[in-house]
Amino acid sequence: MGGTIMRTNQAFFFSWPEAFLTDTETVGGKGWNLARLDRYGFGIPRGGVLSAAVYVHFLEVNGLKPFMQSLHNRSQ
């Protein structure tokens, strides 16, 4: 099983405290809001979020971007 390696100087994974210091463009809306909840003491599971760039790369490499776009268009 082959794949394409994403080469970038950007972070792939952000802990909740790191994600809070970014923005929705970097970690997505859900990731950033979970980071806010963590920051203000709400009980969320330990962890973090993948960057939005990594998510988009995954969709592109696996040919899923058109499928995801069709789901998005259906929900409009």
The full set of domain ranges for the chain reads 13-74
Buried-state track 34-64, b at ≥16 Cβ within 10 A, e below 16:
bbeebeeeeeeeeebbbbbbbeebeeeeeee
pLDDT value, residue 4: 62
pLDDT at residue 10, as a whole number: 75
The reported pTM is 0.74
pLDDT at residue 25, as a whole number: 96
Give the pLDDT of residue 36: 97
C-alpha torsion sign, points 15, 20, 27, 71:
positive
Q: Report residues of the chain scoring pLDDT below 70.
A: 1-9
